[in-house]
Amino acid sequence: MSEYRVDVLVVGSGAAALVGALAVGHAGFKPLVVEKTELVGGSSAMSGGGVWIPNNPVSKQAGISDSFEEAWTYLTNVVPEAGEATAPEKLRAFLNNGPEFVKFLQDLGFKWRASVGYPDYYPEAPGGSARGRCIEGAVFDGRKLGEWRKKLRKFPGAPPMPIHTNEAWKMFLARSSMGMGAFLRLGARLIGYSLTGRVPLTMGGSLIGQLLYLCLKKGVEVWLESPLQELVAENGRVVGAVVLRQGTPVKVLARGGVLLASGGFEHSQEMREKHLPNPSSTEWTVGAPGNTGDAIRAAVKIGAKVALMDKAWGGPVAITPDGKTSFILAERSLPFGIIVDAHGERFMNESASYVDCWHSIYRHHRKTSAAIPSWLVIDNKHRSRYLFGMLMPGRTPEKATGPKYLVRANTLEELAGKVGVDGKGLVKTVERFNEMARKGKDEDFRRGDSVYDRFYSDPRVKPNPNLGPLDKPPYYATAIYPGDLGTCGGLLTDENAQVIHVDGHPIKGLYAAGNTTASIFGGTYPGPGSTLGQACVYAYIAAKNIVQTLKHGS
């Protein structure tokens, strides 16, 4: 077997991996990035690209007040105790290093923008922010990547829209002045870039595009189609790994260590069934297809400890007629719609954060066996005013419908019969919901009470922008499943991003970040970009520690 020597081996090519490689390369050392698939970016490239970083300089410059103390208060109120994964020192390390990480990228030329107005997911909690702590990459010209632009992973079927995370919700209000204004601004932005020949990348495309561009400028080497096979350890220290480079095994020796940042296990049906709540299916994830838990399994083989394996960045999803998985966000939060179980009964706040909705589905299903699938029921006002997935409002052609997607009927009873929901239960639920909607108060689940609920809402609907009576046929029903953006249980790490051995000591030379690890947030989601925020910051922490090891030895 041939050998290849570098200073640091980075497994994965998402945001965490590229941040780690960039920090190592900037310090003057030689990193190697190995990516399992033929494309760069993983789930990060397919995401909204938001990064949740409290007390960061970009948000402060945009006029958002924040501090370590406020963020600490918030996290200690919303993050559940989950043993070593959520240890206080790990949360402190995240808060202390987050602003430094943001400035590090700024100084290298990364262009940030504040997602002003995108609130924390629990803004009413002590220390919560209604104006938000999320930042994202500014519009980036993809031409700068040259041939590498063709190797960026993209969300399947997504149109090339140069839009930002705190603007996207307006697009759902397509038949309003606000929605039309958003479409016009987007069109003008797209035309402006097209006229000058630029290729505008935003959201996950900007995040990965900018990071890859900076890595390439630093001479970082990237191997595609090079999956991890096993870790190589000597005398209790990880010194490298065996990588299958385009079909040929190569032993990569890394004197500074290995950083595992290759995502979770959402595309491994075996691991899902073993660890996640059941039922569970790979069809319900929108994570990158290469995320099958390879790095987690490789580390476990040499004694690594895992935690939170039953947790995911979950959320309601639907399966479109052409078999694609659609993450259901604004569709369930906007007025004129509810989610019900097989008995036709509501069981949650439909406008809550996606992770909370995921927990609600499983919790209710354990009690009733009637929540998987659940059904998102909307009336014609919803369908005529708002986007549904990629479907424009006002017209629902037959090809856009299926036996479990936008099933149509002229009465609630008929709709219930078509989808197997109790008709009397559904009619009773809708009658109660309509009464509450007209009053503007959800007495059952407090939908619309939170600032976060109202982020995905229709301000034209009074008195509650999240509530609207279902009283205009035809009615539509879509099956809802407990899907995910990815898993968030994995290798247990310490505040230095070192992987912990089952015996309790850090494994020398082995670091991990992102969804390969057990989340420091314990399975909850503090705000938009929480996945990427902790992933990037801990990759940065890992790189700082690796660089110190390379400089001074250990």
Residue 182 has pLDDT above 90, yes or no: no
pTM score of the predicted model: 0.96
Q: What is the mean pLDDT of residues 336-360?
A: 98
Which residue type does 539 have?
A
- Give the residue among 12, 116, 9 at the shortest CA–CA distance from 513: 12
**CA–CA separation, 295 vs 454, rounded Å?**
39
Predicted confidence at residue 451, as pLDDT, reads 97
Least confident stretch, 104-108, 165-169, 456-460 = 165-169
Other Cβ atoms closer than 10 A to 209: 27
Residue 157 has pLDDT above 70, yes or no: no
**CA–CA separation, 108 vs 102, rounded Å?**
10
Q: What is the mean pLDDT of residues 312-325?
A: 96
Concatenating the DSSP letter of every residue in 90-125 gives HHHHHHHHHHHHHHHHHHHT--EEE-TT---SSTTS
Give the tens place of pLDDT for each residue, 6-48: 999 999 999 999 999 999 999 999 999 999 999 999 999 999 9
Residue 462 has pLDDT above 70, yes or no: yes
Q: SS3 sequence, 443-471?
A: CCCCCCCCCCHHHCCCCCCCCCCCCCCCC
- Residues β-bridged to residue 249: 244
**CA–CA separation, 447 vs 455, rounded Å?**
12
Identify the band that residue 325 occupies on the pLDDT scale cut at 50, 70 and 90.
Answer: very high
Identify the band that residue 169 occupies on the pLDDT scale cut at 50, 70 and 90.
Answer: confident
Predicted confidence at residue 178, as pLDDT, reads 79
Residue 238 has pLDDT above 80, yes or no: yes
Angle at CA of residue 339, ends 338 and 343, nearest 5°: 115
Angle at CA of residue 300, ends 295 and 303, nearest 5°: 135
3-state secondary structure of 52: strand
Predicted confidence at residue 184, as pLDDT, reads 82
Give the tens place of pLDDT for each residue, 204-218: 999 999 999 999 999
CATH class belonging to 314-484: alpha beta
- Give the residue among 42, 40, 21, 11 at the shortest CA–CA distance from 218: 21
Angle at CA of residue 369, ends 368 and 373, nearest 5°: 120
Identify the band that residue 308 occupies on the pLDDT scale cut at 50, 70 and 90.
Answer: very high
Mean pLDDT of the chain: 95
DSSP single-letter state for residue 65:
-
Residue 519 has pLDDT above 80, yes or no: yes
Residue 341 has pLDDT above 90, yes or no: yes
Residue 260 has pLDDT above 80, yes or no: yes
Q: Give the percent of the chain with pLDDT over 70.
A: 99
Cβ-count burial of 68 within 10 angstroms (0-12 exposed, 13-18 middle, 19+ buried)?
A: middle
Residue 114 has pLDDT above 80, yes or no: yes
Identify the band that residue 158 occupies on the pLDDT scale cut at 50, 70 and 90.
Answer: low
